[in-house]
Amino acid sequence: MAAQRKPRYTLAEYLELDRTSEERFEYWDGEIFAMSGASEGHLEIEANLVVQFRAALAGRNCRVFTANARIKVPTAPPYRYADLSVLCGKAQFEEISGVDALTNPTLLIEILSPSTEAYDRGDKFSRYQSIPSFREYWLVAQHRPHVTQLVRQDDGAWLHREFNSLDDVLKSPSLDCELALRDIYQGVSFPAESAEPPPE
């Protein structure tokens, strides 16, 4: 039996679906990908990040946008969705086929899941780099305290750091603020670690 082929969509068909559906979708080369529903841990982390960023950036004309914000990515039209985007200064938008897309995020954050982690670390990050204002990227694990931070340097290289303890404090050079991992993961339950095998 022949494998069933995935339907192909025009950009116009995608834009209509994304405007009218309660779900979020991303478009790539004729294919449409549903952004899967968030787990309890994902929702807790997202809410914590919003609260902590708003407190850390209070009084500084900074903005925090959640996962419903469309982001213009020049090399991945028409737009993408990040779990959070943050910037200081005036937020700039461009109308794309009747919807507004943010054009100047400074920090983008993805909360990782097994189905999206490879894409978030690879192709999506590569595409995000075409955003002129993009300076910092966080990849936040759900199953354990762990944040990967990538910061664009003056020469265009990306400085890579890992934070894996609730006692760690993550400093954002692009926004001049800091967040403690303990606050990012407040209220999040982690799966129990598998038991160590008994000694022989």
| Low-confidence residues in the chain, pLDDT < 50 | 1-4, 194-200
What pLDDT shows up at residue 65?
Answer: 97
β-strands 107-111, 136-140 pairing = parallel
Domains delineated in the chain = 37-184 (3.90.1570.10)
For residues 131 and 168, what is the distance between their CA atoms, to the nearest angstrom? 29
DSSP state of 183: H
Q: What are the structure tokens assigned to 82, written together?
A: 């990040």
Cα 184 off chain centre by: 14
What pLDDT shows up at residue 39?
Answer: 87
pTM metric for this prediction: 0.85
What pLDDT shows up at residue 192?
Answer: 73
How many residues in total does the chain contain? 200
Which DSSP helix (H) or strand (E) runs through 181? Answer: helix 181-184
Q: What are the structure tokens assigned to 63, written together?
A: 């903005």
For residues 45 and 143, what is the distance between their CA atoms, to the nearest angstrom? 11
